[in-house]
Amino acid sequence: MFNLVCDNAYLNSLGISTYFFGHFFAAILSPLADIFGRRIMVVSASTVMFIVNIIMPFSYNAYMFIVLRFLDGTTGMVFYSASFIIGMELVGPSKRLFAGTLILVVYVFGELLLVFFAYFIRDWRWLQLTLGIPMVSVLCYWWPEVLPESPRWLLSRGRNDEAVKILRKAAKVNKVHFEKLPKDFRLEKKDRGLLEILKELFHSKKLILRWIIVFLNWFITSALYYGLTLHIGKLGGSLYINFTLSCLVELLGYLLCLVMDRTGRKPLHLSVMFLSGVACLSSAFPVLFGDNSHNWIMITLSMVGKLGISAAFGEIYIYTGELFPTVVRSLIMSSCNSGARIGSNTSPFMYNLAEGKMKKALPLMIYGVATLIIASLSILLPETKKRKLLEQVEDVEHEEDLTVDRNNGSFKSSGPNHSESEMMELTNSNDEDRNN
- Tens-digit pLDDT profile for residues 318-371: 899 889 887 788 788 888 887 887 887 777 777 667 666 677 778 888 889 999
Residue 310 lies in a domain: yes
Please tell me the predicted confidence (pLDDT) of residue 235: 58
Residue 34 lies in a domain: yes
Amino acid at 332: I
Ranges assigned E (strand) in 178-253 = none
pLDDT above 50 (res 384): yes
Residue 73 lies in a domain: yes
What's the CA gap between 264 and 380, in Å, rounded?
A: 15
What's the CA gap between 383 and 379, in Å, rounded?
A: 10
Domain count, the chain: 1
Mean pLDDT of the chain: 79
Residue 324 lies in a domain: yes
For 408, the 3-state DSSP assignment is coil
197, 329 contact by CB (below 8 A)? no
Q: What are 248-288's pLDDT values in tens digits? A: 888 888 888 888 888 889 999 999 999 999 998 898 888 77
Closest CA to 23 of 344, 261, 242, 263: 344
Closest CA to 86 of 133, 131, 36, 132: 36
221, 269 contact by CB (below 8 A)? no
Q: What are 11-54's pLDDT values in tens digits? A: 666 767 788 788 778 878 888 888 888 899 999 999 999 999 99
Residue 169 lies in a domain: no
Question: At 88, which CATH number?
Answer: 1.20.1250.20
Please tell me the predicted confidence (pLDDT) of residue 68: 92
Mean pLDDT of the region 207-223: 92
For 266, the 3-state DSSP assignment is helix
Q: What are 102-159's pLDDT values in tens digits? A: 888 888 888 889 889 988 998 888 999 999 999 999 999 999 888 999 888 888 777 8
Please tell me the predicted confidence (pLDDT) of residue 422: 39
pLDDT above 60 (res 401): yes
206, 394 contact by CB (below 8 A)? no
Residue 435 lies in a domain: no
What's the CA gap between 412 and 155, in Å, rounded?
A: 19
For the question of whether the overall pTM of this predicted structure is more than 0.75, the answer is: no
Residue 424 lies in a domain: no
Domain that holds residue 372: 11-162+194-380
Residue 35 lies in a domain: yes
Please tell me the predicted confidence (pLDDT) of residue 402: 64
What's the CA gap between 364 and 216, in Å, rounded?
A: 18
CA distance to 29, 139, 156, 324, per residue, from 26 (Å): 5, 20, 24, 20
